[in-house]
């Protein structure tokens, strides 16, 4: 990926821009009439106007966004969160346009994004995952919904099947309020999400909202990045999050993480995603709530405790990279590689490592140290890490070029020669390489 368009605005657009800049990826912002001077527009390398202030006429116009990406030659589109980030049809159209969608496949979004379909899927394939007692059947007949609510027992929670962000939800404590509440939730759901399908769940009076962060790659691996506690909410929307959750014991935490990973593997999930659970405090038991197939608003606290950059991982996964990056080590010896690797003994007159980031030196010498005939002539191990092998090779070249070791014959130039050798660069070498 050399150029990435951000199909979003505000804080999350700025956040994605930071990672792209660090990775050397050119960025494109899209903006509405009233945001031509917004910070995210100023920070981007390019910016394209896509419509009036109304989101329906700008940030939700997938056709305009894809056309903008084509116009500037963007390799990829990052949807951020909200807007089109969990729109399976948009993801499909992006990919069909020959552009990389930074996120899961449209199939994954479609399969798990709808709350009713998600519950049906888990009930069939992962019965060990606890589901909230309730109704998620096909019939949306008013009489059926009333009957099922009474079977579950009040209070119940009515939820838009395609909903999120706290919209399309009502708690109903008594039967007399049920009909009106159902009609309100259906209306709000249709207006906000384009579907009036709802599900009904048992409402727990005292719960915690805890979610597990997942990252899946293209090789069947699904990793967890621990949990976040998102229980401080207003109108069913989070306002304070923390990690780790202060109420989970180790057994419950591990059980929830195991369940989340099973769900991710069932979906063959790629990119960042979050499995949300509720925890019944009285029973110390968890229940699957939903999966968000995107980067979460609250992802920074996970990055703090893990040291990971989740946006970078999303970008790497979308390019077919693994989640671990690539690391290379070179051993700097006091020896002459052009004279049968004959050891060189004597005093190190000056030694100075490179100060570049993600470069590590493991050494037992300093300026003035002696390399004797009695011991192994290792001066230092130089290790580097980068997101990809090519980037790691480049970082090692720079590290070797900026390492200073005077007074002895070393294999420094030989190591640089290897880093530039076409066979080594291709990865097609064997033990007869040298």
DSSP string, 188-234: HHHHHHS---EEEEEPPSSEEEEEEEEEE-TTS-EEEEEEEEEEEEE
What contacts 251, CB < 8 A, 6 or more positions away?
none
For the segment 227-250, the average pLDDT, to the nearest whole number, is 90
Confidence of residue 326 (pLDDT cuts 50, 70, 90): confident
Query: What CA–CA distance (Å, rounded) separates 37 from 59?
Result: 16
**What are the extents of the domains in the chain?**
3-102, 133-202, 205-319, 326-426
For the segment 193-202, the average pLDDT, to the nearest whole number, is 89
| Structure letter (DSSP) for residue 131 | B
Contact 101, 126 (CB under 8 A): no
Confidence of residue 252 (pLDDT cuts 50, 70, 90): very high
| Per-residue pLDDT at 231 | 92
Give the rounded percent of residues in the chain with a pLDDT score beyond 90.
82
Residue 132, CA distances (Å) to 152, 172, 204, 309 in order: 11, 16, 10, 33
Q: Per-residue pLDDT for 294 more than 90?
A: yes
Predicted confidence (pLDDT) per residue in 134-153, tens digit: 998 889 999 999 999 999 99
Tell me which residues are annotated as active site: 294
| Per-residue pLDDT at 114 | 83
Q: Which CATH number fits domain 326-426: 3.40.50.720, 3.10.450.50, 3.40.225.10, 3.30.470.20?
A: 3.30.470.20
For the segment 103-118, the average pLDDT, to the nearest whole number, is 92
Listed residue (79, 49, 75) closest to 62, CA to CA: 79
Confidence of residue 323 (pLDDT cuts 50, 70, 90): low
| Per-residue pLDDT at 192 | 80
Report the chain's mean pLDDT, rounded to a whole number: 93
| Per-residue pLDDT at 89 | 97
For the segment 104-117, the average pLDDT, to the nearest whole number, is 91
| Per-residue pLDDT at 361 | 94
Q: Per-residue pLDDT for 235 more than 90?
A: no
Query: Which of the pair, 217 or 388, is modelled with greater confidence?
Result: 217
Phi, then psi, of 169 in degrees rounded to 5: -140, 140
Predicted confidence (pLDDT) per residue in 147-190, tens digit: 999 999 999 999 998 876 677 889 999 999 999 999 999 998 88
Q: Per-residue pLDDT for 104 more than 90?
A: yes
Are 3-102 and 205-319 the same fold in CATH?
A: no
| Per-residue pLDDT at 53 | 95
| Per-residue pLDDT at 165 | 65
Q: Per-residue pLDDT for 330 more than 90?
A: yes
For the segment 257-271, the average pLDDT, to the nearest whole number, is 97
Predicted confidence (pLDDT) per residue in 24-51, tens digit: 899 999 999 999 999 999 999 999 999 9
For the segment 48-63, the average pLDDT, to the nearest whole number, is 96
- Please tell me the CATH code under which domain 3-102 is placed: 3.40.50.20
For the segment 72-90, the average pLDDT, to the nearest whole number, is 96
Listed residue (12, 164, 10, 162) closest to 78, CA to CA: 12
For the segment 220-224, the average pLDDT, to the nearest whole number, is 95
Query: Which of the pair, 391 or 68, is modelled with greater confidence?
Result: 68
Give the rounded percent of residues in the chain with a pLDDT score beyond 70.
99
Residue 355, CA distances (Å) to 97, 195, 291, 382, 417 in order: 43, 56, 42, 12, 22
CATH class of 205-319: alpha beta
Predicted confidence (pLDDT) per residue in 353-385, tens digit: 999 888 999 999 999 999 999 888 999 999 998
The third-level CATH classification (topology) of the domain covering 133-202 is Dna Ligase; domain 1 (3.30.1490)
């Amino acid at each position: 990926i050399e150029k990435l368009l951000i199909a979003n605005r505000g804080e999350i657009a700025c956040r994605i821009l930071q990672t792209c800049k660090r990775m050397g990826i050119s960025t494109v912002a899209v903006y509405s009439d009233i945001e031509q001077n917004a910070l995210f527009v100023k920070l981007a390398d390019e910016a394209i106007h896509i419509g009036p202030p109304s989101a329906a006429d700008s940030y939700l116009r997938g056709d305009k966004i894809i056309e903008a990406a084509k116009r500037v030659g963007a390799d990829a589109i990052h949807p951020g969160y909200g807007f089109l980030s969990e729109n399976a049809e948009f993801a499909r159209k992006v990919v069909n346009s020959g552009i990389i969608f930074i996120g899961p496949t449209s199939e994954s979004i479609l399969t798990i994004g709808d709350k009713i379909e998600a519950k049906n899927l888990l009930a069939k394939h992962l019965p060990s995952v606890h589901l909230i007692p309730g109704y998620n059947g096909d019939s949306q007949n008013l009489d059926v919904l009333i009957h099922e609510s009474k079977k579950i027992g009040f209070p119940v929670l009515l939820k838009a099947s395609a909903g999120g962000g706290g919209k399309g939800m009502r708690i109903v404590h008594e039967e007399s309020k049920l009909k009106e509440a159902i009609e309100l939730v259906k209306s709000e759901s249709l207006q906000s999400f384009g579907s009036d399908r709802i599900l009904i769940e048992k409402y727990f009076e005292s719960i915690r909202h805890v979610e597990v962060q997942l990252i899946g790659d293209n090789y069947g691996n699904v990793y967890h990045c621990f949990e976040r506690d998102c229980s401080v909410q207003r109108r069913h929307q989070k306002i304070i999050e923390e990690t780790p959750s202060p109420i989970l014991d180790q057994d419950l935490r591990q059980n929830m993480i195991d369940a989340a990973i099973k769900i991710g593997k069932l979906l063959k999930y790629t990119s960042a995603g979050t499995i949300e659970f509720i925890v019944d405090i009285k029973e110390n038991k968890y229940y699957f709530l939903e999966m968000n197939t995107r980067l979460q608003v609250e992802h920074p606290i996970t990055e703090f405790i893990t040291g990971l950059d989740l946006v970078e991982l999303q970008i790497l996964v979308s390019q077919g990279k693994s989640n671990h990056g690539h690391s290379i080590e070179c051993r700097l010896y006091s020896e002459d590689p052009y004279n049968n690797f004959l050891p060189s003994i004597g005093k190190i007159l000056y030694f100075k490592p490179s100060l570049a980031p993600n470069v590590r030196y493991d050494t037992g010498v300093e300026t003035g140290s002696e390399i004797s005939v009695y011991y192994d002539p290792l001066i230092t191990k130089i290790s580097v890490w980068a997101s990809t092998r090519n980037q790691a090779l480049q970082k090692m070249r720079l590290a070797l070029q900026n390492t200073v070791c005077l007074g002895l014959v070393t294999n420094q130039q030989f190591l640089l020669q290897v880093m530039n050798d076409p066979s080594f660069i291709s990865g097609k070498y064997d033990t007869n390489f040298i």
